[in-house]
Amino acid sequence: MTDQYAVFGNPLGHTKSPQIHSSFAKKTNQDLEYTAIEASLNGFNTAIQKFRKAGGCGANITAPFKLEAFAMATDASERAKLAGAANTLLFDGERVFADMTDGVGLVNDLVKNLGISLTGKRILLVGAGGAARGAILPFINEKPSLLVLANRTPSKAHDIINACQHQDNIRACGLEELTEQSFDVVINATSASLTGQCPALPKSVFLEAEAAYELAYGKGLTPFLALAKNANVKVLADGVGMLVEQAAEAFSIWRNIRPETQEVIKTLKIPIE
């Protein structure tokens, strides 16, 4: 019997997840079917329970349901607990295991695909939403010299950092506090680029940067990446690699096998110009 998986979100017209996971399944000889289920804004729990009762084995969760997904879990990974959100669920009888693979997907894309070492580096992560929360622990595990979480509303960034106990190399601040600070890697985890906007970042953050990374994907040269390009940052990347790598992490949780990602990334990548 073919195992059933799905991605839940609203809206889902843009999702690449069925394409990605179908490719993974084909390459690894896994007998599974992966579909997209657009739940109503108030109907996530009903939709996911219906899927489980029909024999669903696991699910990916995207906006706006990641908090609800975490809340329904019977147990969760440390990175999901720190994020307070989940983008991956594994169903095993009454057990619902929750994980957050966005952060490890981002780190894997930076380190493995782009060749950017994070060890001993100064990292600026802009934004304090679910994606940023999910990235904190994977970044800490890479042992940077400094990790700064900056957000337009500083209190949200401080709340996240305060949850990270015994970490003296991570800080939180408002965007206005970044003046005259510079970093090795700058990551935009805000939604600004989805509306053609750019976080209010001083040019100084890019002056010594070797890489600028935009979590949004398929948008070409976003205002954030244009700002980095004008500062002569050599490596400019969007989130398509993160998208595929977080999917590979979820696939490995479900199937205990890690698919290769390079071919899928190449298929989905749009040049940044």
What are the tens digits of pLDDT across the range 106-165? 999 999 999 999 999 999 999 998 888 889 989 999 999 999 999 999 999 999 888 876
Residue pair 131/192 in contact (Cβ under 8 Å)? The answer is no
Amino acid at 109: D
Which pLDDT score, from 0 to 100, does residue 166 have? Answer: 60
pLDDT single digits (tens) 10-63? 999 889 999 999 999 999 999 999 999 999 999 999 999 999 999 999 999 998
Single out the residue of 259, 235, 257 nearest to residue 245, CA to CA: 259
CA–CA distances in Å: residue 217 to residues 70, 84, 241 = 25, 24, 9
Residue pair 65/44 in contact (Cβ under 8 Å)? The answer is yes
CA distance 119 to 122: 9
Helix H or strand E segment including 123: strand 122-126
Classify 10 in phi/psi space as left (phi over 0), alpha (psi -120 to 50) or beta. beta
On the question of pLDDT at 167 being above 90, the answer is no
CA–CA distances in Å: residue 37 to residues 18, 94, 217, 230 = 11, 22, 21, 41
Q: Which tokens go with 65?
A: 């349901």
At residue 74 the predicted structure's pLDDT band, cuts being 50, 70 and 90, is: very high
Mean pLDDT of the chain: 94
CA–CA distances in Å: residue 269 to residues 36, 61, 217, 237, 241 = 21, 22, 8, 10, 8
**Which CATH superfamily groups domain 103-240?**
NAD(P)-binding Rossmann-like Domain (3.40.50.720)
Architecture of the domain whose range is 3-100:
3-Layer(aba) Sandwich (3.40)
Which pLDDT score, from 0 to 100, does residue 86 have? Answer: 95
- The verdict on whether 121 is a catalytic residue reads no
- Sketch the domain layout of the chain as residue ranges: 3-100, 103-240
**Angle, alpha carbons 51-69-214 (nearest 5°):** 115
10 Å CB burial of residue 242 (0-12, 13-18, 19+) is: buried
Q: Could you tell me the pTM of the whole model?
A: 0.94
Q: Which tokens go with 52?
A: 């489980």
Question: Which of the following is catalytic: 16, 66, 81, 121?
Answer: 66
Which pLDDT score, from 0 to 100, does residue 83 have? Answer: 87
